[in-house]
Amino acid sequence: MPSLIKNIINENVHDKTVLIRADLNIPMSNGKILDHTRVERLIPTINFLKSSGARIVICSHLGRPKGKYNKDYTLKPLVKILSNILETNIHFSNSCVDQEALDIKKNLKAGEILLLENVRFHEEETKNDLSFAKKLSEGCDIFVNDAFSCSHRAHASLHAITNFLPGYSGVLLDQEMKALTLVLSSPIKPVAALVGGAKISTKINIIQYLITKMDYLIIGGAMANTFLVAQGLDVGKSLFEKDSVSVAKSILNKSKKLNCEIILPIDVVVSKSFEARGNTKIVSSDMIPLDMMALDVGPKTIQKIGFIFHNIKTLLWNGPLGAFELEPFGEGTFSLAKTASSLTTSNKLVTVAGGGDTSSALNKAGVGDTFTYISSAGGAFLEWLEGIELPAISVLSNNK
């Protein structure tokens, strides 16, 4: 984590009004919250501020309401769940920048919490507008970014806001940064990355960056098919990207020069159709029938990757190894997740995971709480893996 970023827990916030940018962009249906994870991860920062006698103002976005009010994206349903989890009353403002919001801020007592309405109800938010950020900052003394998962966006409540308030990291952002730095900047070696998912085209930059950092790069999911084709193999009806075959060849060649061993499936689970509980069989990766498609890694591949897990010290996990959402194509992901989990709980392996479907896959495997760290971020996690400086993080580094 950049050393210039100050953590709010090291500051005196007594009698200060603290604006927290949280990520409360959580799945909801008919006003009901389907997953409380992001709310729960905000608790350590809130509890610190409450116990320190600060007044707390929370802002966040929800969905993409296109710069105007939309009842489907109001944060109001979160008042009750925040109140229950934090065991305190929560004030709510129907706007984040109007006089009502400012009046409530000014009347908050120590330890009290105000939740502002969705910042994306204003088009100025996504335009990183300075005047909007100034209005948002009014009545506050300090800004805390506790939304690593949004920090790849230069939006007003994340970026421009630091022109008006001194900026700090929250507990969650600090944890995320330290975990990712541990894996990419100062890992305990040997270190491996497992990268899965459907398309290599969406992860070319990530893979190109990781082969400069890793001892092993394990590739699974449908993107592995493109690498198999690059090796001259026929993958039958399996999904692969014809336009990315030359890139895959280049990555395979470059990895050898960088002493990064790329691990591809040596056997796969195939089926004639992409459907749950269809007829399947296990074949060698060089023997995929013309009328079948690879939908998961096979037992020999699972054994090979498991052996690697036992011989490394640090693992970065991004994406599933197969179509885990359909039975029985989750065996590779679930089996290896359990292996990584077991090694982690016995202090033999540091495991950091995140991005895309990773969290849901690991939760489905029953190991969501046993990895060293599972990032709540999607796009920000992936951009960090590419070595891209995140705008809402860099602005904290520059903020005095």
Give me the active site residues, please: 38, 199, 356, 379
The owner of tokens 């916030």 is: 13
What is the rounded radius of gyration, in angstroms, for the C-alpha atoms of the chain?
A: 23
CA neighbor of 68 nearest in space, from 136, 124, 6:
124
Burial of 199 (0-12, 13-18, 19+ CB in 10 A): middle
Q: Which residues contact 14 (CB under 8 A, 6 or more apart)?
A: 52, 53, 54, 110
Instruction: Say how far apart CA 10 and CA 110 lie, in whole Å.
Output: 18
Provide the angle, in degrees to the nearest 10, between the axes of the packed helices 299-310 and 331-345: 20
Instruction: Say how far apart CA 86 and CA 9 lie, in whole Å.
Output: 18
Instruction: Say how far apart CA 335 and CA 348 lie, in whole Å.
Output: 17
Amino acid code (one letter) for 150 = C
Give the ranges where the chain is alpha helix by DSSP (H): 37-40, 43-51, 78-86, 99-107, 123-126, 130-137, 171-184, 204-210, 223-230, 245-257, 299-310, 331-345, 358-364, 379-385, 391-398
Q: How many helices (H) and strands (E) does the chain have?
A: 15, 17
Residue-level length of the chain = 400
**Reduced to 3 states, what is the DSSP secondary structure of residue 20?**
strand
Instruction: Say how far apart CA 155 and CA 136 lie, in whole Å.
Output: 12
What burial letters (b/e) apply to 339-349, b meaning 16+ CB within 10 Å? bbbebbeeeeb
The phi and psi torsions of 287 (rounded to 5 degrees) equal -130, 35
In this structure, are residues 26 and 39 in contact, taking their beta carbons and an 8 Å threshold? Answer: yes
- How far is residue 333 CA from its own chain's centroid? 18
